[in-house]
Amino acid sequence: GYAPSAIVGNQGLRLAPTSATVGDYVTFGAATATLGTPIFTVEARFRKEGTGFTTSTGTGGVTAIPLVTKGTAEAEGSNKDMNYFLGISSTGVLAADFEEGATGASPGLNHPILGTTPIVNNVWYTAAVTYDGSKLQLYLNGAPEGTALTVNQPPRADSIQHAGIGTSLTSTGTVSGFFAGTIDEARIWNYARSAQQILAGTGREIPTAPGLLGRWGFNECCGRVMDTSGHIPLVTAVVPSITTATNWVTTPDLLSVVNTAPSVDAGFDSFAAFPTAALTGSVVDDGVDTGTALSSLWSKTSGPGTVTFANPAAPITTATFSTVGTYVLTLTANDGELTASDSVTIQVQSTGTNLPPTANAGPDQVVTFPAPASLAGSYTDDGLPGFDVNTTWSFVSGPGTVTIAQPFELNTTATFSAPGTYVLKLTADDTALSGSDTVTITVAAAATNYAIDFNGSNACVTMGVAPGLGASVFTLEAWIKREGTGIATSTGTGGLTAIPIVTKGMAQADGSNLDMNYFLGINSTGVLAADFEEGATGARPGLNHPVKGATPISSNIWHHVAATYDGSAWRLYLDGNFDNAGGQPLVVGQPPRADSIQHAAIGTALGSGGVVGSGTQGFFNGTIDEVRIWNVARSQQQIQGGMSGEVSSGHRQRHVCLGFGRAVQRAESRARCAGPRRAVGCGDRSRLTRDAERLRVR
């Protein structure tokens, strides 16, 4: 070891690598639970003093000198992908990157961003990158650096790659790339800080603050790398190649003013006459600019009843109490980085004249039979005549009987013998006077879910021409259970031979509105397939643009199938998983035939006359449910989030949704679509069937 010498003032860590494989750096191990985050701000103050050595963040990423990182190029589509990377690109500008997480559209895909200002040697800079779940943004010296990059995909927050300063590391701790220079004030946050917060934090130290996952100021000297936020233990920080105190150097002082928590005074303890009390709190701040306005908030800490604040964000306000008793109220202040609080005790006393209790039975509600209703009652009382208030739930009206689990408790449940509208009453009695309130509970009949069983030879559903279902960008979805081979049809020259599921068109003509708008089906190899023909404004009107999946669709098992086209690329999904053959979106970049007059259909494909366009008419053999056609390309998260339930008819971005939820002999559209109000069955052997099995599969 060595005897550290004291260094007065601000310090930084000087890193001096000697080769592409030997250099100074700091690592904290995998630190997945402490430093892994799906949204982030990564910051560092640095002075570049040499060339350093670059590393790669992976295919499609950046080649850069690492500053603060959690990961590097190692693998694709696993927890060995990178969570975040901040560095200096090989062209000498700021660079950042992350790899897409498991729930993203393309797990393992890199999302790099580059700055515009050249980084020169021997000049101090402050760099930052933020990601809010949507946009990636670089900052240099507190100012936005270039244009934000819109991503809308999750980073690999569960990455087991190691976190580091001055280098990047794999999941086993193998280093790659080295920064040559001095680093100071490195910070990792679990949220995207605003531009005002970034600017306010560039010239000062921030030892600790809410959301700060790790902060290293390197002021401890020497040989120690301490996280002042308290999340990374000192023994976890490893500096394997730093063996002399000369690595800790004096750096230009930051602002001498260190932000301190606001000073909060909730006022004096007091007595108050029921039901209100005046609150006279105060909040004083040190005036340090944190980029966030000072805020305050009153809350109830304890007491026998509820408390309503006239303005909970104002230190001076009034509080209204639901009953007499002793209450503790707390005033909390937050300056954007630090919080402080103070409490006050209020003894609320009766005014002397007994008033009846005020009962509140809660809001009216709707439940689905036979599910119980949760009753959440409350009351206010003046505490007179000095006895406990008794509460009772009772039946007022309704078509059946009601069983209340605990009729004398404010919070309980009620079950009903039949669907219908019921009125229940809550009564509060102080032994001298009483008050009551009622709640109306609508018990809806249980919905019965149905699907259509297509026979595979002549059964289908058609919506006619349905111009309202034409779309230049779209998402097609359905739940299917394949029960037989079915009959395949053609989407045209250069297209597909496939069994239709959801379609608007088929092979008929080329270069006119007799071309197909979209087709989702199963091809001859048993995988998902989709196609459209190019529209009039495309480079080659009438040209087919087919795409196929990768995973065979098994029979007699419910599967969710979906296809999206965003005006640029095809994406297929099977059971919520990205399923394009080859593992990448199929880029087309041409418009579909959104003005097609070919008929829209389920279980078949039709031409402009409502019959086969050319060749053989195809038919699906099996059961189909919850068909949806959208006029937007939905993300993988949206598809996964919506596949387990029905979609309400009021969704603004949906063209149509057919759930077959009514026990009738025709499938009826439950959406407010611009097409026909009724979907008509073709053939005579399609039938509605209960699909409780699919609900269990979900």
Going by pLDDT thresholds of 50, 70 and 90, the confidence category of residue 624 is very high
Asked if 388 and 432 touch (Cβ cutoff 8 Å), the reply is no
Going by pLDDT thresholds of 50, 70 and 90, the confidence category of residue 380 is confident
Residues linked to residue 271 through DSSP beta bridges, in sequence order = 347
d(CA 665, CA 453): 12
- Rounded to an integer, the average pLDDT of 336-345 is 94
pLDDT at 24: 86
Q: Which residues contact 174 (CB under 8 A, 6 or more apart)?
A: none
Q: Is the pLDDT of residue 660 over 70?
A: no
Going by pLDDT thresholds of 50, 70 and 90, the confidence category of residue 30 is confident
- Rounded to an integer, the average pLDDT of 7-30 is 83
696 or 285, greater pLDDT: 285
Element holding 692 (H helix, E strand): helix 692-697
Asked if 591 and 505 touch (Cβ cutoff 8 Å), the reply is no
Q: Is the dihedral of CA 226, 228, 234, 240 positive or negative?
A: negative
Return the CA Rg of the chain.
Answer: 33
Going by pLDDT thresholds of 50, 70 and 90, the confidence category of residue 223 is low
Instruction: Provide the percentage of residues in the chain whose pLDDT is more than 70.
Output: 88
Which of 222-236, 332-346, 679-693 has the highest average model confidence (pLDDT)?
332-346
The pLDDT mean for the chain works out to 88
pLDDT digits (tens, 9 = 90+) for 525-557: 999 999 999 999 999 999 999 999 999 999 999
Fold of 358-444: Immunoglobulin-like (2.60.40)
Nearest to 492 by CA among 515, 470, 512, 476: 515
**CATH class of the domain comprising 450-697:** mainly beta
d(CA 283, CA 262): 7
Going by pLDDT thresholds of 50, 70 and 90, the confidence category of residue 673 is very low
- Tokens 């006619």 — which residue? 464
Q: Is the pLDDT of residue 687 over 60?
A: no
Element holding 429 (H helix, E strand): strand 420-429
The vertex-636 CA angle with 632 and 642, nearest 5°, equals 80
Nearest to 195 by CA among 287, 116, 95, 291: 291
pLDDT digits (tens, 9 = 90+) for 381-426: 888 888 889 999 999 999 999 999 999 999 999 999 999 999 999 9
What does DSSP say about strands 547-552 and 527-531: parallel, antiparallel, or unpaired?
A: antiparallel
Cis-peptide, bond into residue 112, ω within 30° of zero: no
Q: What share of the chain is helix, strand, coil (3-state, %, to 5)?
A: 5, 45, 50
Going by pLDDT thresholds of 50, 70 and 90, the confidence category of residue 236 is low
pLDDT at 192: 97
* pTM score of the predicted model: 0.52
pLDDT digits (tens, 9 = 90+) for 51-71: 999 999 999 999 999 999 999
pLDDT digits (tens, 9 = 90+) for 166-203: 999 999 999 999 999 999 999 999 999 999 999 999 98
Q: Distance between terminal CA atoms of the chain?
A: 61
Q: Which residues contact 49 (CB under 8 A, 6 or more apart)?
A: 14, 121, 122, 180, 181, 182
Going by pLDDT thresholds of 50, 70 and 90, the confidence category of residue 135 is very high
Asked if the domains 263-349 and 450-697 are classified in one and the same CATH topology, the answer is no
- Rounded to an integer, the average pLDDT of 559-584 is 96
Residues linked to residue 422 through DSSP beta bridges, in sequence order = 441
Minimum mean pLDDT range among 316-325, 352-361, 561-570:
352-361
Q: Which residues contact 8 (CB under 8 A, 6 or more apart)?
A: 250
DSSP 146: E
- Rounded to an integer, the average pLDDT of 456-461 is 92
- Tokens 């009766």 — which residue? 350
Minimum mean pLDDT range among 288-292, 332-336, 368-372, 647-651:
647-651
3-state secondary structure of 689: strand
Nearest to 226 by CA among 26, 29, 47, 6: 26
pLDDT at 1: 26
Domain layout of the chain by residue ranges: 11-250, 263-349, 358-444, 450-697
d(CA 529, CA 570): 10
d(CA 438, CA 163): 59
At 135, list the tokens: 């946009």
Instruction: Provide the percentage of residues in the chain whose pLDDT is more than 90.
Output: 72
pLDDT at 616: 82
d(CA 443, CA 397): 13
pLDDT at 2: 28
Fold of 11-250: Jelly Rolls (2.60.120)
d(CA 557, CA 28): 47
Asked if 71 and 84 touch (Cβ cutoff 8 Å), the reply is yes
d(CA 630, CA 297): 43
Element holding 531 (H helix, E strand): strand 527-531
d(CA 85, CA 631): 36
Question: Is the domain defined by 263-349 classed in CATH 3.30.420.40?
Answer: no
Where are any strands of DSSP class E within 263-321?
Answer: 263-265, 270-273, 276-280, 282-284, 295-302, 307-309, 316-321
